[in-house]
Amino acid sequence: MHYVCVVKMVKNYLARISDEKLSLLLQAKGAVLIEGPKWCGKTSSAAELAQSVLYMQDPDTSKAHILTAKTKPSLLLEGKTPRLLDEWQVAPELWNAVRFAVDRRRLNGQFILTGSVIPTRTDDMHTGTGRIARMKMRTMSLFESRDSSGDISLGKLFDGDISMESKSDISIEQYAFLINRGGWPAVAQEKNERIALAVANDYLEAVANEDISKADGIKKNPDRVKGLLRSLARNISKESKISTILSDLTENGEALSQVTVTQYINALKKIFVIEDLPAWNAKLRSKTAIRTAAKRHFADPSIATAALRATPKKLMSDFETFGLLFESLCIRDLRVYAESIDGSVYHYRDKSGLEIDAIIQLADGRWSAIEIKMGAGEIEEASANLLKLKKTVDTEKMENPSFLMVLTATEYAFQMENGVWAVPLGCLKN
């Protein structure tokens, strides 16, 4: 049977880059699981394609739905397809029921599941392989929130298009605001600072007081959670080990044990608050050792500003913190853009001290290297680092980079004489 996605336009819905991927996955699989942080827009995006919806967290029906899931979950799957099962993990029994229904119906595009918590797997839970496709959704990139012009395309750069040029209208002051506002759909185009900043602050409170404890069923002290979030924020965009976090907590009067810190960090990962940036494993000409530690990042940089109470005005008076948070903003956007072209984002650092902020590697092996610098005065040094990496990589075992880029907070996007691109974040898209 031919499957056609029916799109329903929701008032004020801002299209997401991931919408196309969701549509394609529904045409290829019986069900699709969308995972990602709370409030990132999973439900709204899924509802654009869904023909019926089951809200598992609706207080009017939640208890009845949970009881039904325990006794006869198939009843909850009845409805027009694609059927959206929102926050399905509230009733884990739905997973196997969906898998069985997909097998029985033998049709694609039957279900969309959304979840903001990775549930604890039980022995009887099927993997879902072959039946349920997975995709991650993130908070909005600047292109999705209509802040970036999108004149410079990562996909086109990978394809060798060097004809692009652009100018960004985003000022340094506006970047400080955008970092604080974050990519939350509820305030994606909000200009009022007080309203825009409220969402990230509310998110942090929800994480500390409720969500982190629900992640693993272990009650946690909200003040200690906030202390850990502050420490992680102080170490954002850095390769900080648990021992570094412990030391930072002690120095700031927020001492926690190693066991507690590890437990809390694992719980934060389960609810998609933390998403560290892994190291890139390149093939080098020399035997220089590559560092393998991940860099600390949140799902959205506004979580860090909320934890630090770092308003846009405060960032403008602390450019060291501003720079680290700008890097995290860039990593968020690069992840959104890269995943839409079947790529992943990493960072690079070797024993010689050479460090590259972002490496994008596509599934077909093509790759690019990106340095992140706010000011124009840093572009020349950053481009030299990129060219040094290019010479370090063994091109007999790996391809040459598709492009090299310095991602900035400046105005103009152009290709320099040495071949390296200088691109403002406010010009970039997938």
Q: At what angle do helices 301-308 and 193-206 cross, to 10 degrees?
A: 90
Distance CA 280, CA 52 (A): 42
Eight-class DSSP state of 274 = B
Counting Cβ atoms within 10 Å, is residue 202 exposed (0-12), middle (13-18) or buried (19+)? Answer: middle
Measured in residues, the chain has a length of 430
Q: In terms of C-beta density within 10 A (0-12 exposed, 13-18 middle, 19 or more buried), how is residue 132 classed?
A: buried
Residues 31 and 134: their CA atoms lie apart, in Å, by 9
- pTM confidence score: 0.94
Q: What angle do CA 293, 299, 300 make, to 5 degrees?
A: 120
Residue among 51, 64, 72 at smallest CA distance from 8: 51
d(CA 320, CA 185): 28
Residue 164 neighbours by CB distance under 10 Å: 16
Per-residue pLDDT of the chain (430 residues; tens, 9 = 90+): 333 334 444 467 899 999 999 999 999 999 999 999 999 999 999 999 999 999 999 999 999 999 999 999 999 999 999 999 999 999 999 999 999 999 999 999 999 999 999 876 665 666 677 789 999 999 999 999 999 999 999 999 999 999 999 999 999 999 999 999 999 999 998 989 999 999 999 999 999 999 999 998 999 999 999 999 999 999 999 999 999 999 999 998 888 899 999 999 999 999 999 999 999 988 888 878 888 999 999 999 999 999 999 999 999 999 999 999 999 999 999 999 999 999 999 999 999 899 999 999 999 999 999 999 999 999 999 999 999 999 999 988 899 999 999 999 999 999 999 999 999 999 999 9
Nearest to 42 by CA among 153, 135, 175: 135
Contact between 332 and 40 under an 8 Å Cβ cutoff? The reply is no
- DSSP label of 162: -
